[in-house]
């Protein structure tokens, strides 16, 4: 079944006329409704996907791998050390990955896993939806980018990757619908891959490679409402202007596992690991200046994303 990718979420305002005269101006009486500040976490404390409204501090969603969420009991171990969780398909689904190898497409409405597979044992760090519904993923210690053939209408686990391409220290993936390429970051390079759009025989072909201004590429994610990407490396956070292919330093904060932005009222949020010795998670998110935006005792979040539509990719 071909997954339909819905791109835009429309926000509307109500207007009325103040009846002083026939030519009275239209006056906006209600402001444009702002989306709630909800963050989705890849939480390694219990290997779950967690959503929290950071204003109210309320937990509003939790996904744990197992029979209740359509993951065969014996496969739940694939989701050890969950490594990413990002909203896709107009915020109706979450695409999650785990270092042990699991990749899952989760329907938010009923917490059901509509597809999952194991992307090998190469430390899976990120995944992305391709326009035809197939799922591509990156594996860092394995040094490869793999593709799953996805059929949610006839899904039956287990599923293994169909094809792969080499990328040393492969960490992150973003589909660029404008350029029709897959951006992939690993080590000291940013690559653009072309996709053959053959759902049953998927393949990626390298189109270009850009040398990064620093080593240790980790996160790659669209800058909200701009033709640009966030990039984190070992010691810094960058923005990448895709028109000019120029890099600009955004923060000198090191060990950043994820970067996410939103409208002007949303701070840019970073998930910074505690250290580099097994404590690669944290219990709080910060902004670009290092200020704590949200903290939760017991949280071991590896990545954090605003729950906002990704119009750059879908």
User: pLDDT value at position 5?
Assistant: 37
Q: If one looks up domain 39-306 in CATH, what number appears? A: 2.130.10.10
With 0-12 CB in 10 A as exposed, 13-18 as middle and 19+ as buried, what is 41?
Answer: buried
For residue 166, is pLDDT > 80? yes
Closest CA to 305 of 165, 159, 143, 127: 127
User: pLDDT value at position 178?
Assistant: 98
For residue 98, is pLDDT > 80? yes
Given a contact cutoff of 8 angstroms between Cβ atoms, the answer to whether 148 and 130 are in contact is: no
For residue 10, is pLDDT > 90? no
- Cα gap 256→235, rounded to integer Å: 8
Q: Which helix (H) or strand (E) holds 27?
A: strand 26-28
Closest CA to 139 of 103, 93, 181: 103
Closest CA to 121 of 95, 137, 141: 141
Q: Where along the chain do its domains lie?
A: 39-306
pLDDT in tens, 185-194: 999 999 999 9
Given a contact cutoff of 8 angstroms between Cβ atoms, the answer to whether 81 and 98 are in contact is: yes
Closest CA to 51 of 113, 81, 94, 104: 94
Taken in order 104, 109, 112, 114, the sign of the CA dihedral is negative
Q: Can you tell me whether residue 97 is helix, strand or coil?
A: strand
For residue 27, is pLDDT > 60? no
User: pLDDT value at position 17?
Assistant: 33
Q: What is the pTM of this model?
A: 0.87
SS (H, E, C) 42-86: EECCCCEEEEEECCCCEEEEEECCCHHHCCCHHHHHHHCCEEEEE
Which position has the token pair 């393949």? 203
- Cα gap 40→163, rounded to integer Å: 29
SS (H, E, C) 100-147: CCEEEEEECCCCEEEEEEECCCCCEEEEEECCCCCEEEEECCCCEEEE
Residue 158 banded pLDDT, cuts 50, 70, 90: low
Which position has the token pair 């689904």? 93
Given a contact cutoff of 8 angstroms between Cβ atoms, the answer to whether 222 and 228 are in contact is: yes
- Cα gap 234→187, rounded to integer Å: 10
Percent of the chain predicted with pLDDT > 90: 82
SS (H, E, C) 157-178: CCCECCEEEECCCEEEEEEECC
Higher pLDDT: 21 or 173? It is: 173
Closest CA to 254 of 227, 232, 269: 232
Least confident range from 150-159, 201-210, 241-250: namely 150-159
pLDDT in tens, 75-87: 999 999 999 999 9
Higher pLDDT: 96 or 26? It is: 96
Residue 153 banded pLDDT, cuts 50, 70, 90: confident
pLDDT in tens, 264-302: 999 999 999 998 667 899 999 999 999 999 999 999 999
């Amino acid at each position: 079944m071909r997954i339909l990718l819905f791109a835009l979420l429309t926000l509307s305002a109500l207007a009325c006329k103040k009846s002083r005269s026939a030519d009275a101006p239209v006056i906006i009486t209600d402001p444009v409704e702002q989306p709630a500040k909800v963050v989705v976490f890849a939480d390694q404390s219990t290997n779950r996907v967690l959503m929290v409204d950071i204003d109210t501090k309320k937990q509003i969603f939790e996904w744990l791998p197992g029979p209740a969420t359509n993951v065969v009991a014996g496969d739940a171990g694939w989701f050890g050390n969950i490594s990413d969780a990002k909203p896709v398909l107009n915020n109706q689904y979450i695409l999650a990955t785990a270092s042990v190898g699991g990749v899952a497409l989760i329907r938010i409405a009923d917490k059901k896993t509509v597809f999952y597979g194991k992307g090998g044992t190469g430390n899976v760090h990120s995944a992305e939806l391709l326009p035809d519904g197939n799922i591509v993923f990156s594996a860092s210690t394995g040094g490869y980018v793999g593709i799953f053939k996805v059929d949610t209408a006839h899904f039956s686990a287990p599923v293994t990757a169909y094809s792969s391409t080499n990328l040393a220290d492969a960490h992150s993936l973003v589909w660029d619908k404008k350029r029709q390429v897959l951006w992939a970051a690993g080590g000291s390079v940013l690559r653009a891959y072309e996709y053959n759009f053959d759902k049953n025989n998927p393949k990626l072909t390298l189109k270009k490679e850009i040398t990064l201004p620093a080593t240790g590429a980790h996160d790659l994610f669209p800058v909200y409402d701009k033709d640009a990407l966030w990039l984190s490396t070992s010691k810094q956070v960058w923005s990448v202007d895709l028109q000019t292919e120029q890099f600009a330093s955004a923060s000198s904060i090191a060990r950043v596992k994820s970067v996410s932005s939103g409208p002007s009222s949303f701070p840019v949020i970073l998930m910074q690991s505690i250290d580099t010795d097994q404590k690669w998670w944290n219990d709080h998110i910060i902004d670009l200046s290092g200020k704590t935006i949200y903290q939760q005792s017991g949280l071991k979040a590896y990545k954090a994303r605003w729950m906002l539509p990704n119009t750059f990719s879908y």
